[in-house]
Chain A
């Protein structure tokens, strides 16, 4: 990785931070609904939110202050890596994100690993014989898992593995096996797409000159595959999964809620509903940074697998 790339990434990180701040700033100003009431509902619940509670929140947080000042002070705190306190819980945003991001990364990584064992192997198998029965079966199951919502997959998995077989916990966290079902739910969705990508990449690789040459010079199918195929097939899969990792971390609200898993998506939704600005800003900021980091990681891995120079 050269200096220009690193410089670009750092610039990107700052831009993301700025946009997150700007986005939440605009949100505060543009969104309908009184901020103090929203925060009061998030704090005290629907049985206790009323104008008295909202007024107390307004006074405590100084919500009537200048928005531009608020924006500048957030940015100043950010530069010093101070994410502030949640308006709803009163806890440090840093601690909350640390707890939730940890669980999210845990879940996402497990899902990613599980999906690696399901998607690409099936995709490669299909790619070896395009048009065959296997290819069609893989296509069909890929479409099935792509069009069934996560909550339905999750429920079916719970009913099979927890209720019927009694092997895995239904929901919750803390038990080492708690992560298996939510991760598997996500993994099946991921595998649905990564199997397609692996299949298409495999077909392309098999049609390439070097692969054909490998075959002509007398190597067996598996020899050519492991010598020449695998590396080339890996690049698009790594790229795809790198992107998906981010989606996984933020986009698993449904799975987190269903399995009572304390992830970042779940907390982001709560923060947005309650207009918990420091929490939204902090979460979005950390996730933006993570994306930038992952992007760099994907580049690095791709270079490792395929050292040829190319335009990023």
Chain B
């Protein structure tokens, strides 16, 4: 489908962007995984006589407002947040893409129903949705995943439907169908290559949305049960100390930035 031939240098640059992105993501996840082996300790252990200490010998990345080791907390938080982001965006993409394809290929009643469902979800205040779910089981993880995923899937759905609709009636897809290939093959061969880049871009932003939603919910005192370290929750807990200890306050934000950047580079590298 590409209109312009991709020159050699351009392909190299795309490849390089992708590699940088993957490398960054790998580094972050490795940091989260290896951290506990590098520094022994408990991310919940407090030291009230050493609060908000600056990065130094004793605490490599400093301590938070309760004197907890930032290094240990960040590594633990990466594991939790990456898991939250991955699960929510994966759930959202799965629902969004499959319903989108259903709507685009079947048309008729299927399209009406799925579109109505999507519009209704968009129209219902997302905040209401998340807060209701969280209120059902306060302090646990699943309502957060579910609530955020229920907001994110709509975007994936709308994008998939829009992209697949013209494809579904294209001669190439018709021919493949006539040849007797199943829907999975059609998806792999025709739909996914077109969708891939957009799904990944939306997921990259979706991952950021997920983590920032946890932070926003923390802002209104709803969210993860303390003392579980999570990037969004840490941002909000450290917020009161933004002027007193900016170096500590910025750490979870920097990690989130790197995470979003890496996902964007991976996704963006694939576009064109």
Contacts and interface: CB of A to CB of B under 8 A. Distances in A.
A143 interface: yes
B45 interface: no
Interface in B183-236: 201, 205, 208, 212, 215-216, 219-220, 232, 235-236
Contacts of B208: 146-147
Interface stretch (B31-39, B53-61, B70-78, B130-138): B130-138
B123 A16 contact: yes
Contacts of A144: 257
Nearest to A140: B261
B260 A16 contact: no
Interface in A275-310: 280, 283-284, 287-288, 291-292, 295
B119 A295 contact: yes
Interface residues of B, number: 45
Interface in B87-118: 116
Contact of A19 (B120, B249, B257): B120
A253 B127 contact: yes
B13 interface: yes
Contacts of B249: 152
A243 B125 contact: no
Contacts of B201: 196, 200
A149 B216 CA distance: 8
Contact of A152 (B205, B220, B253, B260): B253
Given A146-B208, A147-B260, A287 B235 contact: no
B177 interface: no
B132 A284 contact: no
Contacts of A179: none
Contacts of B232: 149
23 contacts: A19-B124, A27-B132, A143-B257, A143-B261, A147-B257, A147-B260, A148-B253, A150-B212, A151-B236, A152-B242, A203-B271, A243-B122, A247-B126, A250-B126, A251-B127, A251-B216, A269-B220, A272-B128, A272-B132, A272-B135, A284-B124, A284-B128, A292-B119
Interface of A: 12, 15-16, 19-20, 23, 27, 30-33, 130-131, 139-140, 143-144, 146-152, 155, 193, 196, 200, 203, 207-209, 243, 246-247, 250-251, 253-254, 257, 265, 268-269, 272, 280, 283-284, 287-288, 291-292, 295, 311
Interface of B: 3-4, 10, 13, 116, 119-120, 122-128, 131-132, 135-136, 138, 155, 165, 201, 205, 208, 212, 215-216, 219-220, 232, 235-236, 239, 242, 249, 253, 256-257, 259-261, 264, 268, 271-272
Q: Which 8 A-B pairs have the closest CB atoms?
A: A291-B123, A147-B260, A288-B123, A147-B257, A250-B125, A207-B3, A16-B123, A147-B256
